[in-house]
A and B are shown apart, each in its own frame.
Chain A
Amino acid sequence: MNYQAIRAAVESPLLTAFNNLSPAVPVYFDNITAVPPNTTTEYVRVNVTFGITNEPTLVTSVDNVRGAIVIRVFTEKGRGPARNQELIDTAFTVLNTLNNTGKPSTGVFFRVGDINGPSFSATDQSPHFVGRIDTGYVATDLS
């Protein structure tokens, strides 16, 4: 199972989308801890988790991976939700585009499920206003 290709299928378009904004917004993925502590700079955190690999069916065993994607957007606290929602919309658009992409003959066929959120939160301890969306996904390894 090509987990790296599955991860890249969702991480690459997200990175491209946020890099293309002006100014670009940094995106941090799993196992990257470069977020400066207590920074007020806006950034995006993407966590991709794997749930179930390989689903037996009546005729064969399909290389399906199921998992979840959590996208958190951190923007400055006390300035209203508009900027956060703009960035959430960028993430949402990327996920939606994944669902509108045709099935390739090789590689990874990626589909997301219902997108939950956005939900917003802010705490006294953090300088950020946090927006969050999450969804489940199914990725089929066609190679």
Chain B
Amino acid sequence: MAKGLNDAMFRAIRRDLRESVTGAVRVAAVEIMNDLAKAGPAYSGAFSSAWYAVPPGQEPGGPRSEGSIYKYDLRNVPRGKFTRGSYFEIVNGASYAPQALDLEEGVFISQLDVDGEVIEPVKTPTSIGKRTGKRRGNVEAGTGFAVSTAPLDWYVNYTSGGSMTRALEQGVKIGFRDGPFGGRGGSARGFG
């Protein structure tokens, strides 16, 4: 085979491979961020909207919205962010993220509206009652108005308990399927 043809073929394979990997990474990031939004606490919904997939060292933004559990799609993981590789971190930009992730203790107050009525959380609470500790999830049934919308240690359970690995696998599978090497996305352009 002529050297020029070889070079062109390898360039095409490399380009398609890079596109596939970037696509898989983006889909995996969306899968994971949606899982985190659903598994984590959601009172106003602001925390669920503050997950960002960013290249290492880049600061995340703040919460995007309130009023519901945020739904992520590929627009939240722009292709342009990964021009220098497909390595990224998923971080939460809420100022109270360490408390929401049950990594630090905090002070928790009831969410009241202007009339002093307790505001309903956007997510069904996992426990309502008395506060038994200074971590977000330290709420158990009993006399009191403390509300927790995710179990204690939900984040560690998600990252270490197998669910994140499964989401990553699912995302990569979908990402490659829809990429240049997949049955749907294309025709392996270099050889078309």
CA distance A119 to B101 in the complex (A): 14
A105 at the interface (CB under 8 A from B): no
Beta-carbon nearest neighbor of B102 in chain A:
A70
Q: Which residues of B contact A130 (CB under 8 A)?
A: 105
* B153 at the binding interface (Cβ < 8 Å): yes
Chain A contributes a number of interface residues (CB within 8 A of B) equal to 24
Q: A136 to B104, Cβ gap below 8 A?
A: no
8 Å CB contact of A123 from B105, B132, B152: B105
Q: Which of B107, B156, B160 has the most CB of A within 10 A?
A: B160
A interface secondary structure, majority: strand
**B162 (CB) vs chain A CBs: closest residue:** A66
Which of A7-15, A44-52, A92-100 participates in binding chain B?
A: A44-52
Among B104, B151, B153, chain A packs the most CB atoms within 10 A around the CB of: B153
Interface contact B132-A136, CB-CB below 8 Å: no
Say if the beta carbon of A126 comes within 8 Å of chain B: yes
CB pair A49–B161 under 8 Å, yes or no, is yes
* B161 touches which of A31, A68, A123, A126 (Cβ 8 Å): A68
A113 within 8 A of partner (CB): yes
Residues of A within 8 A of B (CB): 31, 33, 35, 47, 49-52, 66-68, 70, 113, 116, 119, 121, 123, 125-126, 130, 134-136, 138
